[in-house]
Chain A
Amino acid sequence: MVEAGQIALTVVMGVFLLAVAAFLTRFEDWRSYAPIASGGGYVGEQTGQAHQEKPSGISRWLTTVDHKDIGILYGLYGLTAFAWGGIAVLLMRTELATPTEAIIGANFYNALLTTHGITMLFLFGTPIIAAFGNYFIPLLIGADDMAFPRINAIAFWLLPPAAILIWIGFPLAATDIGIAPAETSWTMYTPLSVEQANPGVDLMLLGLHLSGVSATMGAINFIATIFTERGDEVGWERLDIFSWTMLTQSGLILFSFPLLGSALVMLLLDRNFGTMFFAVEGGGPMLWQHLFWFFGHPEVYILVLPPMGLVSLILPRFAGRKLFGFKFVVYSTLAIGVLSFGVWAHHMFSTGMDPRIRASFMAVSLAIAVPSAVKTFNWITTMWNGRLRLTAPMLFCIGFVQNFIIGGVTGVFLASVPVDLVLHDTYYVVGHFHFIVMGAIAVAGFAGIYYWFPLFTGRMYQKTLAKVHFWTTMIGSNLTFFAMLFLGYGGMPRRYATYLPQFTDWHLVATVGAFIMAFGQLVFVWNLVTSWLEGPRVGSGDPWDLEDDGLKTKEWTWFERKRETAIATDGGEPNEQDVRTDGGEPSGEETGSRSGRRSEEE
């Protein structure tokens, strides 16, 4: 039996390697001969002009090292992960609609809880930020590409195997080989995570490890790119705010992800090779908590800083003025970056640590609220007396600010030791961080997607649908997460599939809110897909009329140049009409006139 299995595996590996070799020879052939036989089967970028440097079809996406393609890949990947994380949480919320274990078992609930957290943080959050970074940092700073295009591609391609390993416990549980999804929660606290014998945990740890390697490679690339690849005219004083936040974020990744990687390896060793890093005789469970949160707290700022950068970049463009106090937004970014390494133990206040140490972590945690507030005030002041244009990206930016305020203020309360001792491990904490991770981070991501949609598709989204998406997301998230805060005040502990009857009402509210949000995301995907395929072409390289306020940034200049040269070589598009953008003008033409526009593509 075992022998047969080994032989079968060997055969499978052999066949796989042969297939790879065959693919590679084909590709090498293409590389040697294609430039001579120009034209032919190679597609260019949606401009009608053939580019011989990329192969066609699926190979193009498998082999690309172009930062824009990789950005798109990251984006698709992130949204796929977002969908799976969302489905997982909908199953959980359905279970939580009733106090008893009615729909899914407690173990399945725990598995979903684990996969939801890990998926959203590592497979959606970090990659969706990398999507924006890859696509736009080189354009914003006037670089040709990322500093290390191939490393960029390697970093991306580590992610699909990571996702497979993290998720594979679910399909494997249906077989009888004894592998189930992990039930460790995203914090993977020892001794629980050491004692769960299920190999599904090992697979998940491996997947996480790979995603960490990927994030680290990406971060090195961003740092190198921003330091060395800036265009001649882009000095540090002219670096845009999004690049500043990506630079800081990459620094945080560089110092925290390798630590997570090492801690994961230690955990794997404890589980499989008999080491005792986290056993009571060794470092004990507290060692894990310290290592994990030394990574874990910076991780939350890794996730929030670039979205803050997106908002700082986008919001002023629809307020008709420059970002108020630009310098201070940059300084506060750097301050948060430094401080975020000094607060990790606020996740461990209730572990019985020395009260003096606890007090100092409380002080630093309260201090970190100051730079966060600086940013908030700057966003509000930017809008104050501004000429606001309530387009979809702007709405999402304002939604970000609102949710960030609630998430931030609840965080400040948690940072205070006496309050935390009451609220720790309740739904209050869940409410706090969801206001930030969903209410702010994801919402800023939506703002970015809508803002740049014309740039990366050449088309405009459907603005009514975008507004439906906005309102369902805002109403849904506030219903759900306020209900969680109230549940926490009532003492509802987190991470349970069942609860006491007195919590039913707020849980029901939270479930309803979750489904409202889910509906909004369906609208979002629909809008994205249909507009990408057949939305109206944008009529100018400056669809948001940023020029009027002198607020145009480099990526739009690039877009303009791309359009001009594309039209020149195409001979133009005769029936191209000026498509009005989502600027508060009369609506109705966007869905109407999108026939017959598939013209000269490819």
Chain B
Amino acid sequence: MDEQPGLSDEYRKASPWPVFVAFGLAIFEVGIVMALFPVAVGGLLLFVGSVVGILRESGYVADPWKGLVTASVICLAVGGAVALTTTNAVRLRGIAVLVGGLLVLLAGVFGSFWEPAAA
């Protein structure tokens, strides 16, 4: 069947990441606005992880673990800035991003050593 003429055989019509990028963003937003700490952290992990995953899949980053480390730097910077400059409820949100960033960093570092050549 000649449904997609001109497409190379390697072209995939499926990717597991988009669903989780979207859900991650949604869960993260809910966590931040409704001040649900674990939800915010979990959403952030899902979002960041899936973004790195999709970037690797489409070849924009070569090493997903380095991607995680880079992403964690952004999270730590943003979360840190919010946590340092605010108080109380807003600060809590900053700390959520900070904690999420730390976990991402851990995952990235751990992955780099434990599985050097990404599958």
Contact = CB atoms under 8 A, between A and B. Distances in A.
Interface of A: 6, 9-10, 12-14, 16-17, 20, 23-24, 27-28, 31-32, 44-45, 47, 49, 51, 53-55, 60, 62-66, 69, 144-145, 149-151, 153-154, 156-158, 161-162, 165, 199, 202-203, 206, 209-210, 213-214, 268, 272-273, 561-562, 565-566, 569
Nearest to A10: B38
Interface of B: 1-4, 6-7, 11-23, 25-27, 29-30, 33-34, 36-39, 41-42, 45-46, 53-54, 57-58, 89-90, 119
Contact of A13 (B21, B34, B41, B58): B41
A157 B21 contact: yes
Contact of B39 (A13, A268, A273): A13
Contacts of B46: 17, 20
Contacts of A566: 1
A63 B14 CA distance: 5
Which 9 pairs across A and B sit closest by C-beta, in order of nearness?
A13-B42, A153-B18, A161-B26, A157-B22, A10-B38, A565-B1, A63-B14, A27-B16, A9-B38
B1 A210 contact: no
B109 to A, nearest CB: 18
A273 to B, nearest CB: 6
A65 B13 contact: yes
Nearest to A151: B18
B15 A63 contact: yes
Contacts of B89: 273
Contacts of A149: 13, 15
B22 A54 contact: no
Contacts of A9: 36-39
Contacts of A17: 42, 45-46
B25 A210 contact: yes
Nearest to A70: B18
B16 A153 contact: no
Contact of B3 (A10, A63, A158, A562): A562
A54 B14 contact: yes
A150 B18 contact: yes
26 contacts: A9-B38, A13-B42, A17-B46, A28-B119, A49-B1, A53-B13, A53-B14, A63-B14, A64-B13, A65-B12, A65-B18, A69-B13, A144-B4, A145-B4, A150-B18, A150-B57, A153-B18, A154-B21, A154-B22, A157-B18, A157-B19, A157-B21, A158-B26, A199-B34, A268-B33, A272-B33
Nearest to A24: B16
B19 A144 contact: no
A165 B13 contact: no
A29 to B, nearest CB: 10
B21 A210 contact: no
Contacts of A13: 38-39, 41-42
B29 A64 contact: no
